[in-house]
Structure 1
């Protein structure tokens, strides 16, 4: 089923009337596998604040960055399955790395239970304000004029941001060199400082820099423009037939009881439908999720197959 149809169907579903366990019974740890100010961190903190208000229990955000999200994911996969440790995860550590990393310390098919998608969002290509490119055509023309000399940054090797850049290279026939960073903010600092020409970033973390005028947004990766930045055209509008979309979901260890997953889903769906969360998500250019756990679990498993094929096509390795 198409992603938008899933969202529409989920919005019509009544909240389950099942008896729920006495959860949460103590503070809940919400792990972000990215450094502060990244998209994962922003979404996690937004949702955690609302969950805390709803439940009366502290929802404590803990940043555990590293290896493109693998460090935090592994920590949660091995945590006690009592419903008090969760992670905001995404396509990289859940789907892409299954193909890229033979030493992945967890099994993405069995070591997590997915509650729901928190949000879907575009990636955005940003360049420094002093760079000469005003649009994608000028950016690609400069890359063709000096193959391999221009750089694009990302929050890490094998991330969706990295693969999106490689897909653009392959489709547009250019050679822009990837420079991995330990998180999006570090890469953004080098774009702002003019040390690299541009980067692919998630819209929530790039939005403040775009609005402050220290970077210029020249393309979004999705097949439609972002409502938050309607003046930024898509890759396809500018002649490059590439479309990718980032997603973030909440997951717990694979052995979390189903009744606790359901209890968390009830609270999360309520949070995603709340006015504070909807307003914040609209500001940073993301669409809220809310699909039931079984639908979300199937979606994540389908993403593993999809991105395994993309990795093979693009030929990205972590060697």
Structure 2
């Protein structure tokens, strides 16, 4: 069996907001997101694209028929607020049985204790892990914690047509929770995204001009460099790090470039090496986990290696490895 792992809210946020030419949510075997709460809770509000997992009359969790779990890259289950992988015990109601009828939505009909309810994701995941190649992820803190962090990713929508998924506009990926985001030019120009993520400052690492913060120049840093192996971004690393250090205490910072793949990821990696004292390899892996198609060009990789040597007074990461 593939096993179970806890999934932080920021991880699910980034899974939902991965994109190539289109959002990756359009890929049928990319994400299976399941809601293990009661029917009335799901109908009231749930995470976008989530399906409610159903139970048999005997209370057994049913594997979604349309989900080919052995092919799915991410299988994520959540309930109200589970934060641990331990199983929970159910308290029987007066009749000694737990109701599993989907048509029952009255809270008084529930036979679960508060703690038992919090463990429904674990029980569901125990069933699903028999069919998956990758570990089943359980959302830590459940729907309550996720929706508190990302209220804009809540919905009552149950069915998603292919065109609706194609039209879904992903948000910038989250590098440091509620503090540092990385995105593209379109996202940087979207005022709703700025409002939802509480973006207070931006670093524009592209040749395009974005005027969102022109009224407050101290909130915007523009570094005009092309995405070319010959472009010099290294000499701007200190400015980038100083700007983020100064702004991140006042609110979230968005670092963006044209596509949000090469220049912005280079800048964010350089900042993590500076602020967290991460070697290049660790900073690289962190950003790659947040945005799976990030790809600094070869010139920027060499500049990051030079930055590592400057910060640590020695080269630690072998950038000749295929990963770079």
**Shorter-chain-normalised TM-score: which range?**
under 0.3
> More relative contact order in 1 or in 2 (CA 8 Å, sep 6+)?
1
TM-score of the aligned structures, taking structure 1 as reference length: 0.26
Larger Rg: 2
